[in-house]
Structure 1
Amino acid sequence: MMGPVLAACLLIILSTAWISQANEALCKKDGGVCSCNNNKNSVDCSSKKLTAIPSNIPADTKKLVLNYNKLRELEPTAFHGLKELTYLDLDGNKLQTLPEGVFDQLVNLNKLYLHENKLESLPPKIFDKLTKLTLLYLYENELQSLPHGVFDKLTELKTLSLFNNQLKRVPEGAFNSLEKLTRLQLQSNPWDCSCRDILYLRNWIREKQGNVSNIEAAECAVGNKAVLDITEKDAASDCVSPNTTTAIPTSTTTPASVIYDDIHEIKVPQENFQKFLGYQEPDHLPTQPQCLMSISGYLGLMMSLMLTSAAILYVFHFLKKA
């Protein structure tokens, strides 16, 4: 009776091994593109030319690094299921927008790096679920405005970096909820000091001066005068504030760098690639590491199927003889 039992056990072992391989194909040791440290629940997918976020990131991942890839957009469900995540790095990509709700399940997130992208605007409430966030980097983007209340839920935030954007003003009360803030970088923005609504920022800087570092570095776009030093006479104009939830394009000319990138990343229908790679709606041809990961997974699947078939034939053969 040991023959059928052994064969059944073999089937279970092979099935478990195949499932494990499918789940871990993300990591280099299994033919994937990312480096994984299971002891630290860390996944590093930096500088892999990824155009989409892998769909098989382990649910217990705490640190996820996706910087310096070619991500242009994120799926709304890109990080769903990653409730243990405390560290997320997306800097150095080509993100122009963020979908509403993309961070909603990251309730334990502590650090979020979104700098060095091409973000022109932020959706309202995009950070509302990140109540444990202590660090938020948004510098070196193309933000032209901020939605009302976009930082209101970030009561634990200590560091906020907004320098090197296109901000002319911030909404009334933009920083009022950030009571634990110790560092705020506002420099290298074209602050419009001729409009009355800049007075909120001036008053806030004066109140927090000495308690929040770097805020004195904010300067007016005209005259090189510090926002801290402007007077009511300077800000006498009753300017009409732009839409604070939608960015206004400053140019309709396509940069040469974008044209160059698109020549090398020709868009094609991707339905088959999506099913084959297990990625979330890639919008470009798969890169070499992605193809290697896919081939490795395919060969592993075929080997598992062959071994499973052999085990089944062995069971039938033994039962026939019995």
Structure 2
Amino acid sequence: MMGPVLAACLLIILSTAWISQANEALCKKDGGVCSCNNNKNSVDCSSKRLTAIPSNIPADTKKLELGYNKLSSLPNMAFHRLTKLRLLYLNDNKLQALPVGVFDHLVNLDKLYLNKNQLESLPPGIFDKLTKLTDLQLYQNKLHSLPEGVFGKLAELKTLDLQINQLRSVPKGAFDSLSSLSLVTLNDNPWDCSCNDILYLRDWIDDNKDKVTGAQDAACGDQQSKAVLEITEKDAASDCVSPNTTTAIPIGTMTPASVIYDDIHEIKVPQENFQKFLGYQEPDHLPTQPQCLMSISGYLGLMMSLMLTSAAILYVFHFLKKA
């Protein structure tokens, strides 16, 4: 009776091994594209030319590095399972906008790096759930306005970098809730000092010179290049119409049906074929080249498991026939 028992045990072991391989394929040591530490609470997927976020990031990840890739959009549920995440690096990508609610489940997030993207606006309430955030990097984007109250819930924020954007003003009261703020960077924005809504920023800088890096460098965008700090009520006499600060740029969650392997070579692949052949887990994104390799590795593992499973089944039938 030991023959069938051994065969059944073999089937269970093979199935468990294959499932484990499929789940662990994110990490390099298992054939994946990202580097993971031993405790699986740190995942480094930076500089991998990714056009989509890997779908099997462990739920207990505390540090996730996705910088220096080719991400142009994010699914609105991209990080919803990562409630323990404390550090999120999305810097040096091609993000043009952020979907509403994309960060809502990151209630333990401490540092968020969105610098060096192509963000033109921020959705209202995009940071409202990040009440533990201490460091927010938004520098070197294309932000032309800020929504009302966008920083209103960030009472723990200590560092805010807004330099090198296209900001002409900030909403009145924009920084009033930042009671823990110790460093803010505002330079290299075309501040419009002809409109009276710049007076809030002037007064805030004047009251917080010790917090503003290079307070004199926050200069007006006109040819005079006068510092915002030096603007008078006479200078800012115009009652200008503020840019729309409540409407976010719409963003779809679909990734284009092409996978860019490098800057000059593009291969178009039907999404349905990828899903059927590779079993990709997120139907709204196509896998990148590294993810394809990762999936092919899992596919080969599956084939090996099926071969061994078939051998075990044949062994069981052979034993029963002889019995």
TM-score, with structure 2 as normaliser = 0.89
The residue type equivalent to 1:165 in the other structure is: N
Number of residue pairs matched by the alignment:
309
Whether 1:320 and 2:321 are equivalent positions in the alignment is yes
| Equivalent residues of 1:52, 1:282 under 8 A apart | no
Percent of aligned pairs with the same amino acid: 76
In structure 2, what is the equivalent of residue 195 of structure 1?
195
Q: CA distance change for structure 1 residues 274 and 91 in 2, over 3 Å: closer, same or farther?
A: farther
Q: CA distance change for structure 1 residues 265 and 186 in 2, over 3 Å: closer, same or farther?
A: farther
In structure 1, what is the equivalent of residue 73 of structure 2?
73
Measure the CA separation in 2 of the matches of 1:15 and 1:283. 27
| Equivalent residues of 2:124, 2:247 under 8 A apart | no
Q: CA distance change for structure 1 residues 19 and 215 in 2, over 3 Å: closer, same or farther?
A: farther
Measure the CA separation in 2 of the matches of 1:271 and 1:150. 39
In structure 2, what is the equivalent of residue 278 of structure 1?
280
Deviations 1:11-36 (A, max 9, x none): 11111111110011111112111111
The residue type equivalent to 1:237 in the other structure is: S
Q: Which runs of 5+ in 1 are unaligned?
A: 249-260
| Equivalent residues of 2:123, 2:248 under 8 A apart | no
Residues 14-163 of structure 1 aligned to structure 2 (within 5 Å): 14-39=14-39, 41-163=41-163
| Equivalent residues of 1:54, 1:279 under 8 A apart | no
In structure 1, what is the equivalent of residue 240 of structure 2?
239
Tell me whether 59-68 or 269-278 shows the greater mean CA deviation: 269-278
Residues 278-317 of structure 1 aligned to structure 2 (within 5 Å): 278=280, 280=282, 287-317=288-318
Deviations 1:51-93 (A, max 9, x none): 1001011111111111111111011111121111111101111
Measure the CA separation in 2 of the matches of 1:319 and 1:277. 35
Q: Tell me by how many angstroms 1:202 deviates.
A: 0.9
TM-score, with structure 1 as normaliser = 0.90
Tell me whether 236-245 or 304-313 shows the greater mean CA deviation: 304-313
Q: CA RMSD for the aligned pairs? A: 2.1
In structure 2, what is the equivalent of residue 251 of structure 1?
none
The residue type equivalent to 1:278 in the other structure is: Y
Q: CA distance change for structure 1 residues 105 and 226 in 2, over 3 Å: closer, same or farther?
A: same
Deviations 1:178-211 (A, max 9, x none): 1000010100000001100011111111112224
Q: Whose helix proportion is higher, 1 or 2?
A: 1
Measure the CA separation in 1 of the matches of 2:187 and 2:322. 83
Q: CA distance change for structure 1 residues 239 and 266 in 2, over 3 Å: closer, same or farther?
A: farther
- 3-state SS of paired residue (2:43): strand
Measure the CA separation in 1 of the matches of 2:99 and 2:263. 22
Measure the CA separation in 1 of the matches of 2:269 and 2:233. 56
Q: Which runs of 5+ in 2 are unaligned?
A: 250-261
| Equivalent residues of 1:83, 1:105 under 8 A apart | yes
Measure the CA separation in 1 of the matches of 2:215 and 2:282. 40
In structure 2, what is the equivalent of residue 252 of structure 1?
none
The residue type equivalent to 1:27 in the other structure is: C
